[in-house]
Amino acid sequence: MITIKSIVSKPLVYSLIRQVFFQNRYGATIQVQCTHANSNPELTDVTFVSNANMQLVIKDSNTKFAYPTDYDDVLLDINDRKAEPELFENALTASKVNTNSIVAALSGKTRAQHLRVAEEYKLLFQITEDLKQKLTNHWLKKLVLDLLIPLKEYYVKELHEAMHGVGTNEDTLIEILCTMNNEGIRQIKKFMKKVTYKATLKSQIQYETAGDFEELLVALLNADRDESVKVHKTQAVADARTLYHAGSLEYAIECEFSRFIKRGLLTIVKAVRDLPEYYAGRLYASVKGFGTNNKRLIRIITTRNEIDMDLIKTHYKKSLIRDLDTKLIGWFRKLILALMMQPTHLYAEQLYNAVDGTGTDESALIDILCSLDNEEIRRIRQVYEQIYGRTLESHILEDTSGNFRNLMVALVRAERNESDLVDKTQARVDAQKLLEAGELKWGTDEPVFISILTQNNYKQLREISTEYEQLAGHTLESAIKDEFSGNLKQGLLAILRVAHSLPVFFARRFHASIKGSGTNNKQLIRLVVSRSEIDMDLIKVSYKAKYKISLEDAIIDDTSGDFKDCLLAIVGGNLSQQTLKL
């Protein structure tokens, strides 16, 4: 049993779950006690138990029942336990489904979750068909389509292609089979039987390989490695003595074996001994000497989660950040370096860059401060002061002005009520205040809008919006558009849109970064990196529903080279789903 309490970072929860679930720890239990971003007093206890079918069983103290679920479902369930009707409406409308016929079914959390997942897969299927028709470059089409299929299907396809036709791609066999656990191999074998390949995986390997290398791969296919956490000291001594007579383990392998059997055995030894160190070595091999292996670099960095990368950096023989900084160039360099940073430190750096020097990047302030919860902002404030020797609030006060400054300072102070409580009477009172401070007043009373939008929880803001529309005959959003201008208008609209649907808000921000004649690469990097381990799948669904084009296609149209490939690896793979890759 692993117990996690008082978690203040949702990305950290995801990373911890992945860390346990994907590291040969079937049967492990994770007890998570965390506060939802918008419901501070309400604690929800969820227990995740990884079982033998490569699933997690959720035991929810609120609903008092347990059910098995795929890993992707777990991320959706944690990220958005209380589904936003607006997101469902957008997604279902995009697929020509009559939302009125199913809205009543959305009251149950698990039912809503499964409906969302089903809709997502429908959209992904449409995206795949579009990509097959639109993409002409062979390797680009292969990259993008591979990112849009289930992981076990990807592995089966790669293994089949490695042994199909003339010659055998031993590197692919080594990379996949020598680094996977028993259950992963069983899943691949099981899936292989369902597809239309003529032979089993074992028979293909026996036909395409020979000698000791064949025996190694067949042994791995048996998937009978002891994956318990028990240590048998007596047996360890006996095995060590046996290996000693053959020479030290790695030295013996180097001396006694050659070519593919040697590389396969060394991969197993390094992966079992220390997986982060193994990947650190591969990263070093990617950047050493003249030039870089950008393809390998992208695959490793975009498939490791936050905790993995911290461990890999620790094992890297030199300064990984310095090597990447000196070896890479352009926007690709900026993207890779952003991926290497802790989210809180990344936000702190981006906020500093937004207010330091000549000019102010108001869009960065809006994207970050209008979308984070109180605890995330407090952590950023702490890191900001540690790194830059001054408070974030003082820097914003110095670099901004007017009511936009007042709005940003109110957000930085992180005083929003984050309960789930809704007071309809107060909502009507606040709606009337907004009406009197805006449309019914000569001029606009900006502090009233700033106070109400920065102090109330998001459910209450939605209720205020409803009451406002009943009083005024039009939406609160349209009123803000009429009454305000410039950055203050954008900031107030951002808060209101986040309150209604965070994925839809970020879909809008992605669109803003890539639409038009030029691409705002700086904003695009910020959005991709900050949402990669949180809600990228939901953002993709919202983007497709709103703009009738996949986010991947939009990125393909507006970016190029390694920068584009890396963006696609993050957006298409959504990090969390590809932790096992490589």
Q: In whole angstroms, what is the distance from residue 555 CA to residue 135 CA?
A: 13
The closest alpha carbon to 186, from 293, 381, 420, 26, belongs to 26
Q: Which strand ranges, in their side-by-side order, compose the sheet holding 29-36? A: 2-7, 29-36, 39-50, 56-60, 65-69
CATH number of 424-500: 1.10.220.10
Looking only at the bridges linking them, the beta strands covering 56-60 and 39-50 are antiparallel
Residues of the chain within CATH 1.10.220.10 domain(s) are 152-273, 279-328, 342-415, 424-500
Domain 279-328 has CATH 1.10.220.10: yes
Report how far residue 277's alpha carbon sits from residue 312's, in angstroms, rounded to the nearest whole number.
Answer: 6
Q: Which residue reads 């995330």 in tokens?
A: 376
- For residue 215, count other CB atoms closer than 10 A to its CB: 13
> Which helix (H) or strand (E) covers residue 465, if one does?
helix 458-472
Token duo for residue 351: 């906020």
**Considering just the CA atoms, what is the radius of gyration of the chain in Å?**
26
Calculate the alpha carbon distances from 77 to 47, 60, 71 in Å: 12, 11, 10
Residue range 342-415 forms a domain whose CATH class is: mainly alpha
Pairing of strands 65-69, 29-36: unpaired
Buried b / exposed e over 477-499, threshold 16 CB at 10 Å, is bebbeebbeebbebbbbbbbbbb
Q: CATH homologous superfamily for 152-273?
A: Annexin (1.10.220.10)
| CA–CA distance, 383 with 205 (Å, rounded to integer) | 52
**Going by C-beta distance under 8 Å and a sequence separation of 6 or more, which residues neighbour residue 533?**
11, 14, 15, 305, 306, 575, 576
In tens digits, the chain (582 residues) has pLDDT values of: 344 333 334 444 444 444 444 333 334 444 444 333 333 333 344 444 444 333 334 333 343 323 333 333 333 333 333 333 343 344 334 443 333 333 333 333 333 343 344 445 455 445 556 556 665 655 555 655 665 566 777 778 778 887 876 667 777 787 777 777 788 888 888 887 776 555 688 888 877 777 667 777 788 788 777 666 666 666 666 666 565 554 455 555 555 555 555 555 655 555 555 555 555 565 555 556 555 555 555 555 555 554 455 555 555 545 666 777 777 778 888 888 888 788 888 899 999 999 988 889 999 999 999 999 999 999 999 999 999 999 999 999 999 999 999 999 999 999 999 888 999 999 999 999 999 998 888 878 999 999 999 999 999 999 999 999 999 999 999 999 999 999 999 999 999 999 999 999 999 999 999 887 778 898 998 998 888 878 888 899 999 999 999 999 999 988 888 888 888 888 875 433 333 232
